[in-house]
Amino acid sequence: MDLLDGLGLQKRWIYEVVITTYSDGRPHAAPIGVWTEDSRTLEMDIYDDSRTLRSILSDRHFAANFPADCAALGAALSPRGELDFVPAETVGAPLLSAAAATAELVLRGWTRHAGRTRVVADPVHVRLGDNLRLINRAEGLLLESLVMASRLEHRNAAVTVAALMENRRVVHKVAPGSSYDRAMDQLLRDVGESS
């Protein structure tokens, strides 16, 4: 059995996690989208000028922390540093103590493209918690799109349709082939027929 199997990741879906590294000897956290193409590795695109990327390329050890909810993603962005860390079991990286699941990772390879670097990592240890619920943006975007479409006659139709099309683009990117993807297509067809 591959280490990632217990997480329940859908291939090519992008999940929101908190990547943790050591930066100058201190824990560092950043929200990043990750996916798997093969259920054996995790991939992510990271901005070339980020501390996270510098730490990964330098240390080769890092972790993907699957948060219990979106609050941890917000805390990772906060300059106040409200996160609690514990040492990883097998790699030289910190873990979020409150993560619903963690994947300790070792850098396999990387390629640069258009201001970002695609990182491919091998999991060496995965811990699953009881409260794991993977965070994928598609569900929230579909819900927001349904609300927007239900108020179409009270809003600027061109602006609303443009927002719906952007939501559809993102849903297709983060959950390709999903029921959310199909629902967004149908919603746009319905909106087009009603306009």
CA 97 from centroid of its chain's CA atoms: 18
Tens-digit pLDDT profile for residues 118-137: 999 999 999 999 889 999 99
DSSP state of 92: S
pLDDT digits (tens, 9 = 90+) for 8-17: 999 999 999 9
d(CA 31, CA 119): 15
User: What fold characterizes domain 3-128?
Assistant: Pnp Oxidase; Chain A (2.30.110)
pLDDT tens for 182-195 read 999 999 999 886 65
Model confidence at 71, pLDDT cuts 50, 70, 90, reads confident
pLDDT of residue 94: 98
Query: Quick one: pLDDT at residue 184?
Result: 97
pLDDT tens figures, 85-114: 999 999 999 999 999 999 999 999 999 999
pLDDT score of 24: 92
CB neighbours of residue 25 within 10 Å: 5
**What is the rounded distance in angstroms from the CA atom of residue 41 to the CA atom of residue 61?**
14
Residue range(s) occupied by CATH 2.30.110.10 in the chain: 3-128
Whether the CB-CB separation of 125 and 62 falls below 8 Å is answered with no
Closest to 50 (Cα-Cα) out of 36, 35, 31, 65: 31
CA–CA gap between residue 147 and residue 125 (Å, rounded): 41
Q: Could you tell me which residues come within 8 angstroms of residue 61 by beta carbon, excluding any fewer than 6 positions away?
A: 21, 88, 91, 92, 93, 104, 105, 106, 107
